[in-house]
Amino acid sequence: LSERLGGVFERLTKQGALTEDDVATALREVRVALLEADVSLPVARDFVKRVQEKATGQGVTKSVTPGQQVVKIVHDELVAVLRGDGPADALKIDNPPATILMVGLQGSGKTTTTAKLARRLAEKQGKRVLMASLDTNRPAAMEQLQILGVQIGVDTLPIVKGESAVQIAKRAKTQAAMGGYDVVMLDTAGRLHIDEVLMDEVQAVRDIAQPRETLLVVDGLTGQDAVNVAAEFDGKVGITGVVLTRMDGDGRGGAALSMRAVTGKPIRFVGLGEKMDAIETFEPERIAGRILGMGDIVALVEKAQETFEAEQAARMMKRFQKGLFNMNDLKMQLEQMMKLGGVQGMMGMMPGMGKMQKAAEEAGFDDKFIRRQVALINSMTKKERANPDLLQASRKKRIAAGAGLEVQELNRLLKQHRQMADMMKKMGKGGMMKQALKQMM
Ligand code: GDP
Ligand code: MG
């Protein structure tokens, strides 16, 4: 029984390690999934290469296939890339009136998103918001924003025909300052494609408006194009974040990954429909699942990992109940301890360990000490781990040398193991172990 327990981890890494072939095969599928989801080719290629390096040699959880395991690794990496440095911050709107500049191509959803965000700021954060349309190009564009403003109960800058975008921006800033607004949102004009005139206008507005946030609104369905747009806007105007619209549609959202990879700018919000409440903060997990389209596999691997950990804990519990406690058990415990925050963290959690903690501190029982103990156990043979009483003086010397430590240290370890094994035996007999373990796990 002890052999089986001790061998679990070894078996897992020896037989179950992902080979280069496993990874390459699975990644071919992943690459197709990425391209189908509209991730641009260079980004997909780059991403797959990184995962390849990461995945090769990693262990495979029992009861899932290597391919499934790779998909899980891909998913986690995708989430990490999409998340970037951390959760997308809330909009920076300190120092009122703070200006938020909305930029993007025509039809990407700027006006709709402006109103959606204004509504959020007003309702969720109690901010006084002023919206202004700088769209002097499209007929009725200003009226569109005004109508939305009435609908959501947010003020809009009165429309004055014949003004330039820059003039409107100036007036909006003045009005916001005088009117005691917290936030002023500038909804700019778009073009069908990037052109000089548009960029010049947006730059001029930016220089006047001095925005705290410049949000690029892009149509999540446009895939590759969206990436060029993002790179262009970021280069010329400088953006602080991206809003992906139309994520309620059939698109798989690959643009999110490409954009993140190309501009490095965070995706802040996701548009999920035409209604005013159809906007959400960006959730990397959701988009990752969508891009890969392999959500069930990810869930399956997670489940298998959980099951594996639970099985392992159950097996250990059974051993303890029988009063069994060899070096493998001790090693696992020591490793668990390090995982749970080292000596301090662990002792505090164990019932009835108050006295031991004091003694431990006095005896110099710290994290370094634990690492040395694990090193000693590692240089024992399987048989010796299962039954440390067998150790002869000559073997002791070699084990200590193998771990680069003194024999004294090994003797301390053996003594400690002895004490713990005795305790287990006593507790196992009295049925106390079950309760103690239950509290620990
Ligand atoms: P603008 O030209 O960038 O200002 O784009 P608009 O805000 O006028 O939006 C163009 C169209 O897209 C409108 O019909 C919007 O209702 C629609 N729209 C905007 N955002 C979304 C979204 O997240 N999902 C869906 N389905 N439609 C959207
Ligand atoms: Mg518009």
Side-chain-facing half-sphere of 389: CA atoms under 13 Å:
6
Q: How far apart are the first and last CA of the chain?
A: 22
pLDDT digits over 84-111, tens only?
A: 776 566 788 888 899 999 999 999 999 9
Residues in Cβ contact with 167 at an 8 Å cutoff, skipping those fewer than 6 apart: none
H/E run at residue 142: helix 141-152
Please give the Cα distance from 180 to 318 (Å, whole number). Answer: 68
Q: Phi, psi at residue 217, to the nearest 5°?
A: -100, 120
Which one is predicted more confidently, 361 or 419? 419
Q: Over 80: is that where the pLDDT of 307 sits?
A: no
Q: What is the CATH number of the domain that holds 76?
A: 1.20.120.140
Question: Are residues 132 and 230 located together in one domain of the fold?
Answer: yes
Instruction: Give the pLDDT score at 9.
Output: 29
Question: Are residues 162 and 72 located together in one domain of the fold?
Answer: no
Pocket test for ligand 1, best of 274, 276, 277, 279 (most atoms within 8 A of CB): 274
Closest-CA residue to 190 (of 103, 115, 267): 103
Q: Is the distance from the beta carbon of residue 138 to the nearest atom of ligand 1 less than 6 Å?
A: no
Choosing from 281, 313, 337, the residue where a domain stops is 281
Q: Is the distance from the beta carbon of residue 188 to the nearest atom of ligand 1 less than 6 Å?
A: no
Which one is predicted more confidently, 340 or 221? 221
Q: What's the number of domains the chain is made of?
A: 3
Which one is predicted more confidently, 234 or 328? 234
pLDDT digits over 429-440, tens only?
A: 655 555 555 555
Name the 3-class secondary structure at 387.
coil
Question: Are residues 219 and 270 located together in one domain of the fold?
Answer: yes
DSSP 390: G
Question: Are residues 104 and 248 located together in one domain of the fold?
Answer: yes
The answer to whether position 303 is within a domain reads: no
Question: Are residues 249 and 352 located together in one domain of the fold?
Answer: no
How far are the Cα atoms of 71, 90, 130 from residue 279, in angstroms, in the given order? Answer: 29, 14, 19
Is residue 105 within 8 Å of residue 192, measured between CB atoms?
A: yes
pLDDT digits over 61-87, tens only?
A: 666 677 777 777 888 888 888 887 765
Task: State the pLDDT confidence band at 25, using cuts at 50, 70 and 90.
Answer: confident
Average pLDDT over residues 190-199: 81
Question: Are residues 62 and 113 located together in one domain of the fold?
Answer: no
Domain that holds residue 418: 322-440
How far are the Cα atoms of 49, 175, 243, 373 from residue 258, in angstroms, in the given order? Answer: 15, 39, 14, 47
pLDDT digits over 387-428, tens only?
A: 888 889 999 999 999 889 999 999 988 988 888 888 877 776
Radius of gyration of the chain (CA): 31
Q: Over 60: is that where the pLDDT of 441 sits?
A: no
Burial (CB count <10 Å: 0-12, 13-18, 19+), residue 408:
exposed
Query: pTM of the predicted model, to two decimals?
Result: 0.67
Above pLDDT 70, what percent of the chain? 80
Q: What is the CATH number of the domain that holds 102?
A: 3.40.50.300
Task: State the pLDDT confidence band at 348, using cuts at 50, 70 and 90.
Answer: low
The most confident of 5-9, 58-62, 405-409, by mean pLDDT: 405-409
H/E run at residue 281: strand 279-281
The answer to whether position 62 is within a domain reads: yes
Instruction: Give the pLDDT score at 313.
Output: 74
The most confident of 24-28, 41-45, 299-303, 337-341, by mean pLDDT: 41-45
Instruction: Give the pLDDT score at 2.
Output: 27
Is residue 325 within 8 Å of residue 420, measured between CB atoms?
A: yes
Type of residue at 216: L
Residues, CB within 5 angstroms of ligand 2 (ion): 110-111
Question: Are residues 121 and 201 located together in one domain of the fold?
Answer: yes
Ligand 2 centre and the CA of 68: distance in Å?
44
Question: Are residues 106 and 77 located together in one domain of the fold?
Answer: no
Does the annotation place 246 within a ligand binding site?
yes
Is residue 44 within 8 Å of residue 35, measured between CB atoms?
A: yes
Question: Are residues 64 and 165 located together in one domain of the fold?
Answer: no
Q: What is the CATH number of the domain that holds 342?
A: 1.10.260.30
The answer to whether position 309 is within a domain reads: no
Output b/e per residue, 45-54; b: 16+ Cβ within 10 A: eebbeebbeb
Question: Are residues 109 and 212 located together in one domain of the fold?
Answer: yes
Question: Are residues 264 and 376 located together in one domain of the fold?
Answer: no
Instruction: Give the pLDDT score at 70.
Output: 77
